[in-house]
Structure 1
Amino acid sequence: MWVRFLIAQDQQIAAAKIVAELTQRGIKIHSAESGITEGVGLVIFDQFSEELIKLVSGESHHYKNRLLAIHCNKLTPDHARSLMQSGATDILGLLNSESIIDEILARILRWEAVDNLLESPYIKSNLIGESPAWKNVLRQLVEVSHFTDAPVLIQGESGTGKELVARLVHELDRRKQKKELVVLDCSTITPELSGSEFFGHERGAFTGAVAARDGAFALADQGTLFLDEVGELPLHLQTQLLRVIQEQTYKRVGGNVWQRTSFRLVCATNRNLWTQVQKGEFRADLYFRLASFVCQLPPLHERQEDILPLARYFLRAASTPDYVLELDTAVEEYLLNRTYPGNIRDLRQVVMRLMCRHAGKGTITLGCIPPDDREYWYHHHAVWHEGGFELAIRRGLMHGAGLKDLSRMAEETAIRIAVEEAEGNLQQAALRLGVTDRTLQLRRAARREA
């Protein structure tokens, strides 16, 4: 954990006590002189200032690092909002807080637990991506899934991975005797059999019911019920579902005995459910039951950094154990510049088409691109600054960032990515950035001193 002070002399004793108590509790503290700013950061300040905003914005790395801001004096709501928008993860007040150390420790332990889960084999091998948009969603989802039993509503375009996310919620659920995940696609339920799908039925309840059958509510008892495309449910089924969620009881079709059930509910839709509520197509009371936590999955065009890692993941999954295919640089450029209306599912299909045309054990080259896709690429070749870059600029302008701030952030981001991809080798990073080693060192030093 690293600590920075922006306080007057008379406040330094109280701040030093916080650091000393944290050290006694087993927290390893790195001072400003160490130059370490990775991991959880603690900023203690007494006055809101541009210097404070610059520090928080620079060290949070677009929310990649967790940063706790502690103020020694009163902080206005507007200033608190500015701190959060700049990258602070949370804000605590030092005044009149006898439990400040416990509050700090509680947050540190929670954040470390979430970060450990993010690095777990299950997530690393199933939910691919390192882009800020994806990591931000995943971090929130992990916390809600593991530390609460709240219902989760997953919204996103087709092909963004909603069922995979639902399985993650079930996997991270901490119930000791958790049972199975039951998946029910609401878009495939016929009106005639809808009651049986949810409630089950008794023998002879209707023509063809030759034996009793459990429905989704019974099968999901003590487990997780995943309702895919929940926005397709007709209103009469919405009413019945709401009652089961509230009362945790139901009757089978043709039965007279009340059955009990207890399950975690996860729902997914590619529609905007709140818009459906406003149109009268979805019950408002059911929406608020389902939407304890809303997970909005980003489309693939907002996750440009994840396109190649996802493509390589699909290649590994489809390759033989003794040889994993690689992508030629020109093919990587093709994948980066292509559009994906079907999102991740669309990308997987493109990779499979490349593999279908590939022969031998060499690299996948431009000749593997199907002819009909080549024409699209030739005529719609996107320049590098389209898409995600322009989206980031628009967001910055919306939040009041000026040209100077935008330029600085673009430069810092380019340097950080180049150094990360060069695994810390400044010479390689400088070559890629088109500057000298000395220039890169000076830019990084100036940033640390700023």
Structure 2
Amino acid sequence: MATPYPVWFLPFTRQHARLAEVITQLEKAGLDLRPRRPHDAPGGAGILFLDPLSSGPEVLEAVAEARRAPDANVLAVSVGVLSSTSTWALLRSGVADVFSWFDVDHPVEIIVSRLAYWQDLDAQVADLQRRLVGRSERWRDALRQVVDMALSSCQVLITGESGTGKELVAREIHRLDPRPTKRDCVVVDCTNLIPGLSGSELFGHEKGAFTNAISTRDGAVALAHEGTLFLDELGELPLALQAEFLRALQEGTYKRVGSNTWRQARFRLVSATNRDLLAEVHKGAFRQDLYYRVSGWTCHLPPLRERKEDIVPLAEHFFTQQHGIRQPVDRQVYDFLQLRDYPGNVRELQQLITRIASKHLGEGPITIGDIPRADWPDFAQLGAAGPAGNELEAGVTTLLYQGLGLKEIKDQVTEIAKKVAITHECGNLKLAAVRLRCSERILQMHRRDEPEGQLRLV
């Protein structure tokens, strides 16, 4: 079995005989192994060969360089025994997996299966990005986890602030679920459950079970049989119903309101909440046994403020896909969008784009004149006397108290400005240089000299 795409590798071990043996076995299995050259583009599938004596900073720098590409998948293979500390350090640095070649059975099969899975995973993530838009590393990591969860059979809990896209992710998990005979995805918004009738909403009721129950009705549990039940805002589920729902989840049995007959329902549960359910457990507002049942696999969706590089592609998506606007967007509009705060996350950005699109007329570009006056920034807060100025003054004061002089403070501010500009332009040094009005060479030197941290391999 061979992977259908080339795999780069970098050696960080001096155990040349062992390394040659490993590479020979992998090539016999059909892998197209290619040593990585300094001028090669970052990313793609790759293997780092190392041992306990490998240089930590060099390994970490190689991982960081590879991880700059969105399709990066790095496997660390040791030809010696690594400590647990080193293994975790490699994983934290961005390595997808790590193991010792001579400590596992069938290492060739392990590597081949990992590469094949990653290729399929990348294809699934690329498809997801057409609907769940974003190109930041945080968002791609979340989408990778979404695919992993969808292909498993465990219960899923999606956490995140309001407006981060939890329901969209839940529907994608159902769509990707590989069950060949799966049925519908049934959505229940727990914030809309009416006290006294919530049991009927989940489990259904018999005719005459209560006033206005003029006919027998199936609940969400029955409708989700052989499909997916999505409970949105699970933290709002009334405490009195949690025990009944736990039985339905564990035993696959339930009773309609007003009935003594146990019925069966098999479904996959996907839940979402913007609450800290573990904190709710400690307060007694959520059952501990239900919490551990629903959180078989937890995925946290990052707020928009933690993936600001996704604001522009999201805005482009909303302009074109939802409003059919194909005209160019002035750079100042994107600057305005990126400087805003979004407590409502992607939903708030989407609503803002709708207001801008509604105001835009004609065939010309979208400009800052299309931004409704109600959405204009508070110019009184943008001066040096505003919060930003106060924060800068506080930062400089701290540096002065630490004994730094004018040159050291200037150097620190300069380095921060370079880092912010590069991040703002999603790693595009040319655009970052234009924004800073400096040469691209200066930013190239900044990236080369940027500290990558320390990694112990002992």
**TM-score of the aligned structures, taking structure 2 as reference length:** 0.83
Deviation at 1:367, TM superposition (A): 1.8
CA distance in 1, matches of 2:30, 2:379: 56
Which residue pairs with 1:340 in the alignment? 342
Deviation at 1:436, TM superposition (A): 5.3
Which residue pairs with 2:370 in the alignment? 368
Match of 2:24 among 20, 23, 30: 20
CA distance in 2, matches of 1:7, 1:411: 34
CA distance in 1, matches of 2:105, 2:160: 43
Pick closer, same or farther for the CA change 1:418–1:304 going to 2, 3 Å: closer
Aligned-partner residue type, residue 210 of structure 1:
I
Pick closer, same or farther for the CA change 1:238–1:319 going to 2, 3 Å: same
Deviation at 1:304, TM superposition (A): 0.5
Q: CA RMSD in A?
A: 3.2
Match of 1:173 among 156, 174, 177: 177
Which residue pairs with 2:108 in the alignment? 101
Aligned-partner residue type, residue 346 of structure 1:
E
Deviation at 1:34, TM superposition (A): 7.5
Match of 1:288 among 274, 288, 292: 292
Which residue pairs with 1:117 in the alignment? 124
Aligned-partner residue type, residue 371 of structure 1:
R
Kindly indicate whether residue 132 of structure 2 is the aligned counterpart of residue 88 of structure 1: no
CA distance in 2, matches of 1:299, 1:356: 26
CA distance in 1, matches of 2:271, 2:293: 11
Alignment partner of 2:183: what SS?
coil
Deviation at 1:410, TM superposition (A): 9.3
Superposed CA offset, 1:401-431 (max 9, x none): xx99x99999799779969758xxx7x7876
Unaligned runs of 5+ in 2: 1-6, 396-408, 451-458
Kindly indicate whether residue 127 of structure 2 is the aligned counterpart of residue 127 of structure 1: no
Aligned-partner residue type, residue 73 of structure 1:
G
CA distance in 2, matches of 1:227, 1:165: 13
CA distance in 1, matches of 2:76, 2:188: 44
Judge which range, 239-248 or 37-46, deviates more. 37-46
Kindly indicate whether residue 221 of structure 2 is the aligned counterpart of residue 184 of structure 1: no
Deviation at 1:79, TM superposition (A): 1.7
Alignment partner of 2:246: what SS?
helix
Aligned-partner residue type, residue 113 of structure 1:
D
Query: In the TM superposition, what are the counterparts of 1:396-411 in structure 2 within 5 Å?
Result: none
Which residue pairs with 1:257 in the alignment? 261
Which residue pairs with 2:206 in the alignment? 202
Deviation at 1:310, TM superposition (A): 0.9
Which residue pairs with 2:49 in the alignment? 44
CA distance in 1, matches of 2:66, 2:424: 15
Which residue pairs with 1:54 in the alignment? 61
CA distance in 2, matches of 1:366, 1:227: 40
Kindly indicate whether residue 147 of structure 2 is the aligned counterpart of residue 142 of structure 1: yes
Pick closer, same or farther for the CA change 1:435–1:233 going to 2, 3 Å: same
Larger RCO: 1 or 2 (CA < 8 Å, sep 6+): 2
Pick closer, same or farther for the CA change 1:419–1:211 going to 2, 3 Å: closer
Q: Does the CA-based 8 Å contact 1:4-1:42 persist in structure 2?
A: yes
Pick closer, same or farther for the CA change 1:201–1:119 going to 2, 3 Å: same
Aligned-partner residue type, residue 156 of structure 1:
G
Deviation at 1:18, TM superposition (A): 2.5
**TM-score of the aligned structures, taking structure 1 as reference length:** 0.84
Q: Does the CA-based 8 Å contact 2:79-2:100 persist in structure 1?
A: yes
Deviation at 1:107, TM superposition (A): 1.5
Pick closer, same or farther for the CA change 1:332–1:92 going to 2, 3 Å: same
Judge which range, 148-157 or 50-59, deviates more. 50-59
Deviation at 1:375, TM superposition (A): 4.5
Deviation at 1:261, TM superposition (A): 0.9
CA distance in 1, matches of 2:420, 2:339: 20
Alignment partner of 1:191: what SS?
coil
Aligned-partner residue type, residue 98 of structure 2:
I
Kindly indicate whether residue 72 of structure 2 is the aligned counterpart of residue 70 of structure 1: no
Judge which range, 93-102 or 243-252, deviates more. 93-102
Which residue pairs with 1:5 in the alignment? 11
CA distance in 2, matches of 1:243, 1:419: 48
Deviation at 1:324, TM superposition (A): 2.0
Superposed CA offset, 1:86-108 (max 9, x none): 22111111224341111111211
Deviation at 1:372, TM superposition (A): 2.6
Q: Does the CA-based 8 Å contact 1:244-1:250 persist in structure 2?
A: yes
Which residue pairs with 1:393 in the alignment? none
Superposed CA offset, 1:309-354 (max 9, x none): 111111113334xx52432211111111111111111111111111
Pick closer, same or farther for the CA change 1:445–1:371 going to 2, 3 Å: closer
